[in-house]
Amino acid sequence: MNRFFLCLLSLALGVTAAVSEDSKIKVFDMEAIRDPKTLEIEVLEDWHLVEGAIPTRQKLVTINVGEVWPGQDYRVPVRMIVPADRKAKGFHLTGGHSPDQLKSETRPSSVEQRLIKGEVGLVYTVVQDPRTFGQGEFERAAEERFAQSLNPRHKILFCAWPATLMRAITTASAETEHFEPGKIAVSGYSKNGASPSMAILHDERMTAVHASVSPIWDSPLRLCDRAAWAEHEDHGGSHRGFSGGHFGPNFNQAALDAGHTWEELQKFTHDIADSVFVSRNLESLRKRGVDMLFHPGTHDMVAYDLAWGGAHHPDIPVYLGANTGHGKKGHPQLERDEQNLAAFLFRHFFPTKVEPLLTPPTVEHAIDDGLLKVTVQFPADSGEESGRIWWIYDRDPDGSPKYLSELIPEESSAEMTHDPRRGVWAAEIKLDPNASRIDFFTNHRKTVHYDGQAIATYLSSPYTRVPLR
């Protein structure tokens, strides 16, 4: 039996929880994750030349990620891409592909071509709902087992998807004639943002994560705080477009229907929190020198707790695209020239050739004579070029239908002015006298350069909620 996942609780499989010295529960057996002998590789296409604007060598395999439960293996394809005439040093890893897509030889995008030109490889795998590639029965069985057991090994979100990325790293790392050790950046959207955000907490081979519309922090709603959920339900929550729960789609009701209690849900979410949330691991990630950037969206059904995150973790770098999220088109004033992922990757892999990106600023506000006065300050010589403020009044609680559907009004945005004497960006908002609170954030541009190309990047100030009564 291949055992890549450790159970967190003494539940269905009777496995005792494994706890490290700092009380962080270990979800994965990392020694097994890193073992290439257990990959059970099936080669679909061996290394071969692929012509194109940037010629590459490519290989396609399938691997065994591990057993989700005894007798149920989880296999995925992995496509590896390196320069045509030399080894890759490190690689960019993504799971946002389907098995059918990976059957075809890859023609790298313009950004990927620049990575290949700089001797950075590409590794593609599949982090998708199994039902989308004909494994719907397996997905249903996994969900039913998890609802009954609260054993994270049965939850694809907690184990199979992050392990897929880590096992893909093991696969590429074993190809020593084509890859040499180097940085490994992982990026993705939705489940492909959540999975690397969790995997990077466990796998020190990963050196950077860029994640969009996916969880970042351990807010009360995520930890099944009963008061937070009562408020959520009072405002029509749980359904109607809200899919966010602990770390992805909400599983509370399925677990309750299976006979679990709120106390058991709270114990489970508390016990696993250190193993899934970036916010619980910032010190260790920074000691490792991990680069991070998050795009949670301002109206997303999974990344639904901006006010809590802004108040408790203002130093986590985020870009808040106004009125963005799953299925959202964005505000008319949205920064359409934003190229954060490209700049993030170039800066990570080629730090001597790309200017530093912006780091989170400090924000201050005061209410004076019916005006909200806001100032935002970056560290000296950061190089920010612009400032724009966005606001919304009386926003409903996290994840509620109106939180998701009531967008930032078109008129609730304004350019900020730069005060060079104080080194701050400033704005004044005339307050609605009937409003009970106001939420605001600011976005700032910095242009960086790589390989003769100017690249527009944006970073936000912490999302801030201000009571007005």
Distance CA 160, CA 195 (A): 9
pLDDT at residue 239 in the model: 60
pLDDT value, residue 135:
86
Residue 67 backbone dihedrals phi, psi, to 5 degrees: -95, 125
CA distance 160 to 142: 10
Least Cα distance to 415 among 357, 333, 337 occurs for: 333
DSSP3 helix / strand / coil % (the chain, rounded to 5): 25, 30, 45
The two structure tokens encoding residue 343 = 């700049």
Of the candidates 170, 198, 176, the residue with the CA atom closest to the CA atom of residue 25:
198
**pLDDT attached to residue 238:** 67
pLDDT in tens for each of the 469 residues of the chain?
Answer: 344 443 322 222 222 233 333 444 568 999 999 999 999 999 999 999 999 999 999 999 999 999 888 889 999 999 999 999 999 999 999 999 999 999 999 999 999 999 999 999 999 999 999 888 888 898 999 999 999 999 998 999 999 999 999 999 999 999 999 999 999 999 999 999 999 999 999 999 999 999 999 999 999 999 999 999 999 989 887 665 688 889 988 999 999 999 999 999 999 999 999 999 999 999 999 999 999 999 999 999 999 999 999 999 999 999 999 999 999 999 999 999 999 999 999 999 999 999 999 999 999 999 999 999 999 999 999 999 999 999 999 999 998 999 999 999 999 999 999 999 999 999 999 999 999 999 999 999 999 999 999 999 999 999 999 999 8
Strands 72-83 vs 88-94: parallel, antiparallel or unpaired: unpaired
| Burial of 168 per CB tally in 10 Å (0-12, 13-18, 19+) | buried
Extract the tokens encoding 395: 């926003």
CB atoms within 10 A of CB 117: 13
Residue 38: φ, ψ to 5°? -100, 10
Sketch out the chain's domains with CATH numbers.
33-349 (3.40.50), 362-467 (2.60.40)
d(CA 104, CA 235): 47
Helix residue ranges, H only, 288-407: 306-312, 340-349, 401-405
Number of other CB atoms surrounding residue 44 within 10 Å: 14
For residue 413, the cross-strand partners are: 390
Helix H or strand E segment including 365: strand 362-368
Cβ-count burial of 31 within 10 angstroms (0-12 exposed, 13-18 middle, 19+ buried)?
Answer: exposed
CB 224 within 8 A of CB 265: yes
